[in-house]
């Protein structure tokens, strides 16, 4: 595929039907197309975070056990991770614009189902639909940007994503809290999903008008059996972690965890077999012989589990433990998002120090989490929580900022695509794992009173310490080759 594409400038060219691009120029409607892609990404990002604020209100309305609050996040991220395994490949096979449109349409439909849900089962299913179609939408954006923008403008296009995502991280939970608290139109929490309908329909229309269709890659093949095995393994692991507490940890919960190990082993065997037969495996087996990649998997899984779990238990503790309203809880968490944006900005200045930046981030985040422990045991206002949350967010940003670049430094060029997809999927799986495990620990101690959130923070701090240890396996600096094991 051409790196830079633009249609010839003619008087007949219109936004709804851009002429075929010439390989030597850039795509004419690239900047409106960037706005479309960013809006779709913001819509997905907002819905990935809003249920941590609205979860208690949703459960109070729909009923169900406390595990429903966990499933609101787990169902979304698990479906997202399953979809990401094949979403990028489907874009290559069927065309990125087509898959983006399918993703947006399905996401809007899932949002509508969430808004009209009448019970826990319907709500969980609708959240899974959102995650699955979100995974069809998100991978297409980066590929289309590379097709539409010339190299000299590509960095500016990618650079626009940072501030937009940062504002979304701050504004998303706050918007959710406001919508729940104000009970807009008398429908309460349902508005956080209904708001996606006008946004999503506008994205669909604009995508049809402005996105570049591109050309499918016919030689790419889809490893559907591998995706099914990986998804089943994750479900077998996460389902008992979420539901086990409510059922008293019966024997079937341990049997499912054991079965997940067997399914993941079958997935590994399938990927090796497919690679040897000349197929297109989801994960190149050669990656598992590299210390950097194995270290990156361990580091990422623990970090993303800790960060996602922290976000859930912090918001739940404020609402269920300290009696905060959804809006007040959302506002209390703003310093965390601001700190993360600041930390990722600092990374751009200190990136030359490589994995030492991750070390600093892990130490900083641990200090911030531990500073919160005494505050969550009793009533704490915004200004008392803000410094510790700001430090926690900065540490998180210092970890996440260089993570992907440093891990990918230890893989070969031909392995980069597979490694990037695997790490992105792992980010979702780690988030689901943290929501399941730390949510279960939190709810197990909730009957003890306000101390539940504070006690769970000790586990978060321990997980960040493990992240620090695992990061010693990473390359010292980005683009520094690491030997195979």
Residues 273-304: tens digit of each pLDDT: 888 887 778 788 888 888 888 888 888 899 99
CA distance 146 to 212: 11
CATH number at residue 300: 1.20.1250.20
297/217 same-domain check: no
Q: Which of 206, 222, 238 is the last residue of a domain?
A: 222
In angstroms, the Cα distances linking 127 to 50, 167, 294 are 12, 23, 31
Q: Which of 187, 222, 257 is the last residue of a domain?
A: 222
215/298 same-domain check: no
Per-chain mean pLDDT for the chain: 81
294/214 same-domain check: no
The confidence score (pLDDT) of residue 26 equals 61
The confidence score (pLDDT) of residue 158 equals 67
CA distance 475 to 293: 9
One DSSP character per residue, 231-257 reads HHHHHHHHHHHHHTTTTT--HHHHHHH
CA distance 149 to 147: 6
Residue 214 falls inside a structural domain: yes
The confidence score (pLDDT) of residue 13 equals 38
Higher pLDDT, 195 or 276: 195
The confidence score (pLDDT) of residue 216 equals 67
Which residues span the domain enclosing 364? Answer: 281-485
The confidence score (pLDDT) of residue 6 equals 32
Residue 294 falls inside a structural domain: yes
Residue 253 falls inside a structural domain: no
Q: Could you tell me the two tokens for 258?
A: 């054991």
CB atoms within 10 A of CB 117: 20
The confidence score (pLDDT) of residue 218 equals 57
Reported as a single tens digit per residue, the pLDDT across 416-449 is: 767 777 887 888 888 888 888 888 888 877 665 5
Higher pLDDT, 28 or 360: 360
215/285 same-domain check: no
Angle 318-323-325 from CA coordinates, rounded to 5°: 80
Higher pLDDT, 26 or 114: 114
Q: What are phi and psi of 149, to 5 degrees?
A: -105, 140
- What pTM did the predictor assign? 0.80
Residue 99 falls inside a structural domain: yes
The confidence score (pLDDT) of residue 85 equals 77
> What is the count of structural domains for the chain?
2
């Amino acid at each position: 595929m051409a790196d830079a594409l633009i249609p010839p400038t003619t008087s007949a060219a219109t936004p709804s039907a851009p002429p075929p691009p010439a390989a030597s120029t850039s795509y004419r409607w690239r900047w409106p197309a960037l706005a479309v892609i960013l809006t779709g990404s913001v819509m997905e990002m907002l819905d990935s975070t809003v249920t941590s604020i609205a979860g208690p209100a949703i459960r109070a309305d729909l009923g169900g056990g406390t595990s429903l609050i966990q499933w609101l996040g787990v169902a979304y991220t698990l479906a997202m991770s399953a979809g990401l395994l094949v979403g990028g490949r489907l874009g290559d096979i069927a065309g990125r614009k087509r898959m983006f449109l399918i993703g947006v349409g399905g996401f809007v439909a899932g949002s509508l189902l969430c808004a009209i849900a009448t019970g826990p089962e319907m709500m969980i299913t609708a959240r899974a639909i959102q995650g699955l179609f979100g995974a069809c939408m998100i991978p297409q954006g980066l590929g289309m940007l590379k097709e539409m923008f010339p190299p000299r403008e590509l960095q500016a296009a990618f650079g626009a994503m940072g501030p937009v995502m940062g504002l979304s991280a701050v504004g998303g939970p706050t918007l959710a809290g406001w919508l729940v608290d104000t009970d807009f139109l008398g429908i309460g929490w349902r508005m956080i999903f209904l708001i996606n309908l006008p946004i999503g329909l506008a994205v669909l229309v604009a995508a049809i008008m402005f996105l570049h269709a591109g050309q499918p890659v016919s030689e790419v093949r889809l490893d559907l059996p591998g995706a099914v095995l990986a998804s089943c393994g994750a479900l077998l692991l996460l389902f008992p972690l979420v539901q086990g507490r409510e059922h008293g940890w019966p024997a079937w919960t341990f049997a499912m965890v054991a079965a997940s190990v067997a399914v993941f082993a079958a997935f590994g065997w399938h990927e090796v077999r497919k690679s040897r037969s000349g197929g297109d495996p989801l994960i190149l087996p050669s990656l598992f012989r590299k210390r950097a990649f194995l270290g990156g998997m361990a580091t990422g899984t623990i970090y993303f589990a800790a960060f996602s779990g922290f976000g859930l238990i912090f918001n739940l503790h404020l609402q269920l433990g300290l009696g905060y309203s959804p809006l007040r809880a959302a506002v209390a968490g703003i310093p965390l998002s601001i700190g993360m944006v600041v930390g990722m900005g600092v990374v751009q200045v200190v990136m030359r120090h490589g994995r030492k930046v991750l070390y600093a981030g892990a130490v900083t985040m641990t200090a911030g989490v531990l500073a919160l422990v005494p505050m969550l045991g009793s009533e704490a206002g915004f200004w008392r929580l803000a410094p510790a949350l700001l430090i926690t967010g900065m540490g998180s940003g210092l970890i996440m900022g260089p993570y992907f670049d440093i891990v990918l430094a230890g893989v070969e060029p031909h392995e980069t695509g597979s490694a990037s997809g695997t790490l992105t999927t792992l980010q979702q799986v780690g988030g689901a794992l943290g929501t399941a495990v730390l949510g279960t620990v939190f709810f197990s101690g909730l009957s003890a009173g306000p101390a539940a959130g504070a006690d769970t923070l000790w586990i978060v701090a321990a997980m960040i310490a493990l992240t620090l240890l695992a990061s010693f396996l990473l390359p010292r600096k980005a683009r520094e080759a690491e030997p195979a094991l």
